[in-house]
Each structure stands twice: as C-alpha cells, then as structure tokens.
Amino acid sequence: MQDVPPICRSEFLRSLAGASGRAQEEGSHLGLLLIDITNLAQINHYHGYQTGDLVLKSTYDQLLSISKLPDSIYRMGDHRFAFILPELGNPAFIALAINKVSRVLEQALYVDSHLVSADVKVGVAVNREGKHDELSMLALAELSLALVKRGGGHRMQDFLGEQKDSDVTDHQLEQRFAQALQDNEFELYFQPKVNLRSGHVGSAEALLRWLPENSDPVSPEVVVGLADDAGKAYELTKWVVHSALRQAKPWCQGPDGGIALNLQASLVSNPDLPVLIKDALVIWGVEAERLTIEITESAIIEDKESGFNNLLKLKEMGINLSIDDFGTGYSSLSYFKHIPAAELKIDRSFVAKMLEDPQDLELVKIMITIAHQFSLKVVAEGVEDLETLRALMILDCDYAQGYYFSRPLPRQEFEAWVEQWPGLPEL
Ligand code: C2E
Ligand code: CA
Ligand code: CA
C-alpha cells in the first residue's frame, strides 16, 4: 500500500488563519492555490486504487518540493490539495506558481508500465495586504476553481484578488449567453482537415464562435460551460448540428468530403441525441457517413453505460466517432475494444513539442501505431510548421489540422481557402 497523505482540513484552516493574521499585521500578500486532480476517479477505475494512491502521494511530494516551506501543503479532500503561499512579493507572482504547479503535476508517471497522468485544475485566491479573512479567501479560491473546471482560464482579477467583481461579470455573461442563443449570435468557423495521403482537403472541423457586440470574443469552452450551467446544452448543440450540416452540405458531396463536430460530455448520454442528429441529416440531405462527431476521452468515460449506448446508436446510423484530445485523459488501451470509434485525434500538446521533446515524439509514434492496430485513422491537431508536418507524414499519420494550413475560418473564407490550396509540400 502507498502511504497516502491524510485529509486534514482543520489543520489547513488553522494554518491559513495563521498566515492571514501575519499578512494582515505585515500588510503583505498571501496566496492560496486549490489543486484538484480531476481524473482521480478514472485513474482508480482504470488502473486500480493502488495507482490512484501513488498519484496522490506523488502529487503531495511534488507540492512539498515546490513549496519548501513548512505548513504550506495540505490534502483537503479525496483529490484536492491546498497550497498556501505567504509573502508574495507581488500578487501577480501567483501566476508563476500556478504555472509551475500545473507543469510539474501534469508530468506523466510510469506505473507498472502504463503511463498515468494527472489532470490538474488550479483555483486561486490572493489576499492583498491581508484584507480578507481565511474563510473568504477559501471561498474565492473555490469559486476560481469552479470557473476553471468549467473551461474558463485564470483571469487577471484572480491574481489580483478582485474575484468579487468577476463573479458579477460571470453572472452577466450567463445572462448575455441566454440572450445570444435566442438572438442567434453564434457562428461556426471551419478548420480544414488535410488528408496526408492524397493531399486533398475534403473535410473540416466546425468550431463555435461567439463574438458578442462591443466586447471580446468568448472562448468556445466557456460558451459550452455556460450552456451546461444554464441547462441549455441541448439547445446549443441543436444549433451547432443544424448550422454545421446546412453550411457543409456543398462540400460534403465532394470526394473525401465531410464535416466534424464537437460534442461535450453532458450531451454524450442525452437520450435525445441520436434523434436530433438523424433529423438534422435528413433535413439538410447529408449522408451519415459524411459526419464525424468528436468526443474527448473523458467525456466517453464519464457516463459509461448510457454514453456507450448512444455512441453505438450513432455508429449504427453510419456516423463516424472520433476520440478528441487523445493522450490527455485516460489512454487505457482496453478502452479501444469498447468504443466504436473510427478516428483518434492526437492532442495538440504532443504535436506542438514533438520535434523538441523526444518523449513527445515517442508518444506520437506510439499513438499512431496503436491507432492503426485498431484500424483507427489518426489526425494530428495543432500542426504549426512545415517540419512538424513532414515528421507526421513520415510517421504515417493520416490527417492533419493546424495553423500551418489555416486557422478556423468563416464558411466563405474556408471555401476560398480550399480553392487555392496548392497541395502538400514534397517530403
Ligand atoms: P478542440 O476540439 O480540441 O479544437 C481545437 C482547438 O485548437 C480549436 O480551438 C482550434 O482553433 C485550435 N487550433 C487549431 N489549430 C491550432 C494550432 O495549430 N495551434 C494552436 N495553438 N491551436 C490550434 P477553439 O476553436 O478555441 O476551440 C476550443 C475547444 O472548444 C475545442 O477544442 C472544443 O473542445 C471546444 N469547442 C469548440 N466548438 C465547439 C462546439 O461547437 N461544441 C462543443 N461541445 N465544443 C466546442
Ligand atoms: Ca475537436
Ligand atoms: Ca482537440
């Protein structure tokens, strides 16, 4: 058995109260990170509790080695840790701490010859000049963690200890979202998917865009999180499916033509999903074989029973399933046997560094080999330069997407881009 750090909330609160008191006396800045290993349940499920325990122990040890201060690291829940950072020279320095913690903790561990990696989300609060008490600081960090888990990143306010305002902004955003859905303010952009064997571009991935009037674009991950929270995930998906099929119909009739859509976890097991998609295919006259649905590994695992049933139904209809962001979640091999997928997309974090980091290159090679063994096509995402493209072609990767070819574009621009596409470079 591994020696798992015990959960000690009261010690943590005492320590945070002590640090807050000192910050108040000295007028110094105090930081707090809440670190959540969001995939611990999956690790336990796929690799056993011993492996899960090992991940917890290693997380704790790594946090201790980052902090180097006594009374600063506590396990606060099954898969949650707290990291107290006293005497921050500048509140914004906490951004560096978040970066370091995520980088260190997300390094994969080898356990009994499988690779296990923790999916880490970090919530943050800064107590500027000791102005908050420990409980409100904890509440701010919890709020920040909830926002991050929902797909939003850290915002500058988080680092500067002004989360109270951002809470309001978030509420406003939710209201604007509901209105935007009603007013049809969303758009789909299309990113070409290049066939590395034929050099042909027949298909594209549709990516959601919300460009609210008079304010900054909102990232699709945040939009999807807002839809989930507002109970509007089904409505948003319906809009995406119809809008994508309507726009992609012309190129879905061409050779190698197709359209790929993203589907979030909350929709995978929705019993109405197969009918929604079937109706949309009929309405827009697109053959099921032309449609690919991209789902992340963790979304598939989240709700196994009903999720699998739905996926099987989609497959029986002739739709292709693609495992998105592959490598970032639970890459247990046994899982290919169960998932009726046709395609695997290597997460762009591996592709981006494959020429610099030999370990990433090795992982990309392994993913391509395994996928082919299971008769899956492989797509590399996030190809940004010619050298990476060449390496992927040599490794026998089937498709590629990325800024090297094109950013996601509105439909007309996408079609114009395809018209002028000169074909792949010589190897
Ligand atoms: P994803 O499915 O992994 O989509 C790929 C993301 O990588 C896109 O970000 C795309 O713009 C970006 N990307 C493409 N090529 C490159 C590259 O060469 N370098 C870099 N750095 N990035 C590249 P985007 O559009 O912001 O979408 C983010 C995520 O939001 C998507 O990740 C997907 O999970 C989600 N999403 C987007 N549209 C939808 C949607 O309609 N429904 C659902 N459920 N999720 C969506
Ligand atoms: Ca995708
Ligand atoms: Ca992806």
Q: In this structure, which residue's CA is closest to atom 23 in ligand 1?
A: 382
CA 150 – CA 140 distance, rounded (Å): 15
Burial class (CB in 10 A: 0-12, 13-18, 19+), 184: exposed
Of all atoms in ligand 1, which is nearest to the CA of residue 188? 41
Mutate to test the pocket of ligand 1, among 187, 207, 392 (most ligand atoms within 8 A of CB): 207
Q: How far is CA 265 from the centre of its chain?
A: 11
CB within 8 Å of 408: residues ≥ 6 apart: 189, 190, 191, 205, 207, 209
CA 211 – CA 232 distance, rounded (Å): 19
CATH class of the region 175-420: alpha beta
Of all atoms in ligand 1, which is nearest to the CA of residue 237? 42
Q: Give the Å distance between the CA of 348 and the centre of ligand 3.
A: 7
CA 174 – CA 192 distance, rounded (Å): 31
Q: Give the Å distance between the CA of 57 and the centre of ligand 3.
A: 30
CB within 8 Å of 215: residues ≥ 6 apart: none
- The residue extents of the domains of the chain are 9-163, 175-420
Cα separation values, 397 from 211, 293, 367, 387, 393, Å: 34, 20, 10, 14, 6
Q: Give the Å distance between the CA of 63 and the centre of ligand 3.
A: 29
Q: Give the Å distance between the CA of 113 and the centre of ligand 2.
A: 29
Burial class (CB in 10 A: 0-12, 13-18, 19+), 400: buried
CATH class of the region 9-163: alpha beta
Give the three-state DSSP class for 35.
strand
Token digits of residue 373: 């063994």
Q: Name all residues whose Cβ lies below 6 A of ligand 1.
A: 191, 207-208, 219-221, 224, 240, 262-264, 294, 324-325, 348, 381-384, 401-403, 408
CA 217 – CA 178 distance, rounded (Å): 16
Q: Give the Å distance between the CA of 400 and the centre of ligand 3.
A: 12
Q: Any idea which ligand is nearest the CA of 388?
A: 1
Query: What single string gives the DSSP state of each residue in 58-107?
Result: HHHHHHHHHH-STT-EEEEETTEEEEEEEEESSGGGHHHHHHHHHHHHTS
Q: Give the Å distance between the CA of 283 and the centre of ligand 2.
A: 24
Q: In this structure, which residue's CA is closest to atom 21 in ligand 1?
A: 382
Which 8-state DSSP code applies to residue 299?
A: H
Of all atoms in ligand 1, which is nearest to the CA of residue 408? 11
Q: Give the Å distance between the CA of 323 and the centre of ligand 2.
A: 9
DSSP H or E run through 343: strand 343-346
* Amino acid found at 248: A
Q: Any idea which ligand is nearest the CA of 220?
A: 1
In this structure, are residues 218 and 152 in contact, taking their beta carbons and an 8 Å threshold?
Answer: no
Give the three-state DSSP class for 176.
helix
User: Mean pLDDT of successive 10-residue segments in the chain (427 residues)?
Assistant: 83 94 89 94 91 92 90 94 88 78 84 83 85 80 78 56 47 77 91 97 96 81 85 93 97 92 91 96 97 85 71 94 80 61 92 92 88 91 97 98 98 97 92
Cα separation values, 338 from 117, 328, 334, 373, Å: 21, 19, 8, 15
Predicted local distance difference test score (pLDDT) of residue 1 = 52
Predicted local distance difference test score (pLDDT) of residue 85 = 94
Cα separation values, 118 from 42, 109, 251, 376, Å: 10, 9, 40, 26
In this structure, are residues 382 and 413 in contact, taking their beta carbons and an 8 Å threshold?
Answer: no
